[in-house]
Structure 1
Amino acid sequence: MAIQVPTELLDGCVLGLLTTKDYYGYTLTQEVQRLIPISESTLYPVLRRLKKNGWLETYDEPFQGRNRRYYKLTTTGRGRLGEIQTEWQGFSTAITTLLGGKINE
């Protein structure tokens, strides 16, 4: 897929995944990459920004002698996800209409 994912949508994808369970960075990246071609170097700055905005929290868990940093959705993160989902509905409809060559007159 050659289409670049806008930052706002990438934020929504990450926040959406975290509604079901907490993920550590690598598995979160793998889940996003299953559907959207992004690199790890793309996702980690997104995670830092989402945390800085208060939409994510982190905690560490030991695993085989190392710590894994887990990301957890906050209440304000759920609110932000709702805003992105609402914005996406209108945007998606508009793009689908335009790509189909249909303009309401």
Structure 2
Amino acid sequence: MPPQNSAQTALDLLILTLLDRRGPLHGYAIANFIEDLSDEALKVEEGSLYPALHRMEEKGWVAAEWTITGSKRRARQYSITHGGQSQLSAETQRWAGFSLGVARVLQQA
């Protein structure tokens, strides 16, 4: 079962998955990928995204470094760490069990 804050857990899972599969990304790109890949069903606000990235950096799940973008702007680029990959694996399993439980209730209610 996911922790009490399922929205935070889901956001962490989405961010870690993107960084694992797409490689290092800027926060803006992470938000755009989530929105695009969900067919705009999910929208991540800056007020949720950047605190999540900072929290995950403090936990050692992501690493960040300043880079220069194509438009010559400084931006922080995030990448998944070994600790983040372990967390991703654990959270993916927990989330799958949680989702299955929700689906069962929806089908049988």
TM > 0.5: yes
Aligned to 1:26: 28
Structure whose residues are more often helix by fraction: 2
User: Within 2, Cα distance between the matches of 1:38 and 1:5?
Assistant: 15
Aligned to 1:99: 106
Residues 3-22 of structure 1 mapped to structure 2, 5 A cutoff: 6-20=7-21, 21-22=23-24
Count of aligned residue pairs for this structure pair: 99
Name the stretch that deviates more: 44-53 or 63-72. 63-72
Q: Normalized against structure 2, the TM-score is what? A: 0.83
Give the letter for the 1:46 counterpart.
Answer: A
Give the alignment partner of residue 61 of structure 1, picking from 55, 64, 67: 67
**Which has the greater radius of gyration?**
1
User: Within 1, Cα distance between the matches of 2:72 and 2:44?
Assistant: 29
User: Within 1, Cα distance between the matches of 2:57 and 2:7?
Assistant: 18
User: Within 2, Cα distance between the matches of 1:5 and 1:55?
Assistant: 18
Gaps of 5+ in 2: none
What secondary structure does 2:20 align onto?
A: coil
% identical aligned pairs: 26
1:46-71 per-residue CA deviation (whole Å, 9 max, x = no partner) reads 10100010000011112333212100
What CA RMSD, in Å, does the superposition of the two structures yield over aligned residues? Answer: 1.7
Aligned to 1:88: 95
Gaps of 5+ in 1: none
